Chain A
């Protein structure tokens, strides 16, 4: 059986600079990533952390940082039941196309017995739908109490 790869493409009426900033900015991620605020100095090899309400949710290390073009980091979930044991890889590619940005998120490198894939397959469409709304409508997008329920369901099914 081949290892799973999750790929998601979305088109955003914005600029690569704005999309890249939103993906790497603490305040912006807190808004569209359902409270998960990212912190990093974005140097290759540096740590990346996502905290929600003071709790460590995700951690990783910067693999690649090519401003407004490509961002890649390792991805280790710390919430139940993963607890920091199951590391995979995220690559975000940004491409300017006329008045929009094509954003491609590729998530792979899962361990053979990983239970993270089901959760991220549910999570990325939520996060990236919100990112698109956030950049296009300029408001804090969907309040999503159902996000955590959906994440829990995905974990339960995994």
Chain B
């Protein structure tokens, strides 16, 4: 049986560089990713953390693979106890130009072991974050200006 996973694809009228920035730079993630920012030096093998504005760590792990602006693979552990209990996951972000002015963005999040809570959580989170990234890049505005359930 295949591992528990979540896949989300969205098409964005933008460039691969801009989509990469929107997912990695603090100026963008503060807006699109509900105030969080990445803490890492973006080198393969380096530690990686996603941090809330108040300093709490949302997720931690390691940069497994990085090929800017096409591919990023993260070893990923959510810090919420009930999600942490399900263990490590792997997140793969792929950015593929499909036309002069459009890219295909694919996020695949797979749990190493078994469980349902972590995949349910990321299935809720990624559509919000990626809807925001698409809106911000295409219109300059966010779709979700504040977090809703």
A interface residues with partner B (beta carbon < 8 Å): 7-13, 97-100, 125-126, 129-130, 132-133, 136-137, 141-146
State whether A11 touches B127 (Cβ < 8 A). Answer: yes
Closest to B134 in A: A132
Give chain A residues whose Cβ lies under 8 Å from the Cβ of B13. Answer: 133, 137, 141-142
With a 10 A CB-CB cut-off, give which of B13, B131, B142 has the most chain A CB atoms: B131
- Could you tell me if B145 and A125 are in contact, using CB atoms closer than 8 angstroms? no
CA distance A13 to B8 in the complex (A): 19
Q: Which residues of B contact A146 (CB under 8 A)?
A: 98-99
Complex Cα gap A30–B138 (Å): 21
B145 and A98 contacting across the interface, CB-CB below 8 Å? yes
Q: How many residues of B contact A (CB 8 A)?
A: 26
Question: Quick one: which of B10, B101, B148 contacts A98, CB cutoff 8 A?
Answer: B148
- B42 → A minimal CB distance (Å): 27
Chain B residues near A142: list those with CB within 8 A.
11, 13, 99, 101-102
> B70 at the A/B interface (Cβ < 8 Å)?
no
Chain B residues within an 8 Å CB radius of A12: 131, 143
Smallest distance from the beta carbon of A20 to chain B beta carbons, Å? 17
Mask, B119-149, CB within 8 Å of A = 1, is: 0000100011001101100110111111010
Which residues on A sit within 8 Å (CB–CB) of B145?
98-99
Beyond A10-B127, A13-B143, is A125–B10 a contact (Cβ under 8 Å)?
Answer: yes
Q: Which residues of chain A come closer than 8 Å to B9, judged between CB atoms?
A: 125
Evaluate contact between B141 and A13: CB separation under 8 angstroms.
yes
- Going nearest first, the 10 A-B pairs with the smallest beta carbon separation are A125-B9, A11-B131, A129-B11, A9-B127, A13-B143, A97-B148, A11-B143, A142-B102, A146-B98, A100-B143
User: What 0/1 readout, one digit per residue, does chain B (63-104) give for beta carbons within 8 Å of chain A?
Assistant: 000000000000000000000000000000000001101100
Chain A residues contacting B99 (CB-CB under 8 Å) are 142-146
| Majority SS at the chain A contact face | mixed
Question: Is residue B12 contacting chain A, with contact meaning CB distance below 8 A?
Answer: yes
A-B contact pairs, 21 of them (CB 8 A): A7-B123, A9-B123, A10-B127, A10-B131, A11-B128, A11-B132, A11-B143, A12-B143, A13-B142, A97-B148, A98-B145, A125-B9, A130-B11, A133-B134, A133-B138, A136-B139, A136-B143, A137-B13, A137-B139, A142-B102, A146-B99
Given A13-B141, A136-B139, A146-B99, are A129 and B127 also a contact pair (CB < 8 Å)? no
Give CA–CA (A132, B9) in the complex, Å. Answer: 13
- Whether B144 contacts A100 by the Cβ 8 Å rule is yes
A143–B10 alpha-carbon span in the complex (Å): 15
Most A C-beta atoms less than 10 A away, residue of B123, B135, B141? B135
- With a CB–CB cut-off of 8 A, which chain A residues contact B135? 13, 132, 136
